[in-house]
Amino acid sequence: MDSTDLSSGRVESALRGGVTKERILDAAEHLFAEHGFAATSLRKITAAAQVNLASVNYHFRSKESLIVAVLIRKMSPINARRIELLDAAEKRAGEGPLMLEDVLDAFVGPVLRARQEGGEASNFPKLLGRVYTEPGDWVARIFPQALGEVAARFRVAFLKALPASEFVDAMWSMHFAIGSLAHYLAAPALLSFLLQEEAATLDVEVVQARLVRFMAGGMRALAAKKEAAG
């Protein structure tokens, strides 16, 4: 076998490996969203992906690493857009104050649009709900890997947009804002029940405006505690 044959063989093997990895990720994403992380075994994933267990171990090493890979693949395009919008908001602010609503729009908007468009985020609401509600220390371990970079950027941005807020109150505010978004995404049936109409038909611009207004009001209320004390 000459060098050309060897090179072609390596390319073909790499392509097969890439297809196998995507099949594993697709199967894991669907099963995690439908049944949860704890209830989904690696054997269930391999059966759905039609691969052997060795392939999962080769590409991901462990179930926890596979969960991180699924979340990163889901969140990467969303978080890239978030950072792009946050950069634009900071550029507009220049040396002046950073507008809280601009930061919240950057945080909320890309998620809502990805959900509306389907595609890379079609399972996102259920996955996000699983991350927030499933018990276990492993959940805390995946946050730095899957969400660390974007969380660090928005942590700084919220502090800039809430200059009167103490650090602890600003972080509580950020936590509650994330919870509001996650709840909207994960519980559409409850919203439909309360509205007495189909929540899925709501215009994304209306949803974003309501969420941002609610989040901003709560954040400013917590910040007002320091202003009143001063």
pLDDT of residue 81: 94
Q: What is the pLDDT of residue 184?
A: 87
Query: Cα-atom radius of gyration of the chain, to the nearest Å?
Result: 21
For helices 42-49 and 53-60, the axis angle rounded to 10 degrees is 110
* Res. 12: pLDDT tops 50: no
- pTM of this prediction exceeds 0.85: no
What the chain holds in terms of domains, given with CATH numbers, is 1-61 (1.10.10.60), 69-229 (1.10.357.10)
Q: For residue range 116-173, list pLDDT tens digits in order.
A: 776 545 677 778 777 777 767 766 777 787 788 899 999 999 999 999 899 999 999 9
Query: For residue 6, what are its two tokens?
Result: 């060897």
Q: Which long-range contacts (CB under 8 A, 24 or more apart) does 172-177 make?
A: 172/222, 173/215, 173/218, 173/219, 173/222, 173/223, 176/215, 176/218, 177/104, 177/107, 177/215, 177/218, 177/219
**39 DSSP assignment:** T
Could you tell me the pLDDT band of residue 185, with boundaries at 50, 70 and 90?
A: confident
Tell me the angle at which helices 63-93 and 3-35 cross, rounded to the nearest 10 degrees: 80
Residues 6+ apart with CB under 8 A from 88: 106
Residue type, 80: A
